[in-house]
């Protein structure tokens, strides 16, 4: 699946959760997102581009504590070494785009993009907000 900036902009206002081999987990509110061509990646199996995300805020998960506000810095991921899959909206969401999983097994990292319509989000203070549904 080749991504475009136009396609990925539907996730602005939503969130991305970044998980790395159980060593770290971040979740942040997407402020802007771009697909930047990277000709240096030509010849690799994936798309020759970098996925660039800027955040309104980002929180880091700490076991036994939960999400805590963290340093807000951009996130970049090479699509040339990543696989991309749509994974559905989720059990309590009936509108908006699908969640999108970007898996980079070489780095040992997976990022899941949640659209603004998704029913769960981490707030700026680290608290989890769950909207609607019977939980």
pLDDT in tens, 23-51: 899 999 999 999 998 887 777 667 889 99
pLDDT in the model for residue 134: 44
Q: Are 15 and 25 in contact (CB under 8 A)?
A: no
The predicted model scores a pTM of 0.88
Cβ-count burial 2-13 (b if 16+ within 10 Å, e if not): ebeeeebebbbe
pLDDT in the model for residue 87: 85
CB atoms within 10 A of CB 16: 23
d(CA 90, CA 77): 24
């Amino acid at each position: 699946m080749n991504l475009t900036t136009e396609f990925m902009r539907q996730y602005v206002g939503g969130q991305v959760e970044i998980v790395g081999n159980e060593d770290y987990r971040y979740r942040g509110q997407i402020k802007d997102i771009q697909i930047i061509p990277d000709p240096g990646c030509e010849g690799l199996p994936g798309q020759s581009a970098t996925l660039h995300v800027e955040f309104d805020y980002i929180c880091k998960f700490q076991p036994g504590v939960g999400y805590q506000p963290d340093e807000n810095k951009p996130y970049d991921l090479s699509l040339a070494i990543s696989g991309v899959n749509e994974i559905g909206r989720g059990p309590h969401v009936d509108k908006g785009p699908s969640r999108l999983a970007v898996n980079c097994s070489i780095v040992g990292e997976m990022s899941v993009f949640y659209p603004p319509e998704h029913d769960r989000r981490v707030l700026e203070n680290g608290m989890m907000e769950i909207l609607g549904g019977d939980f």
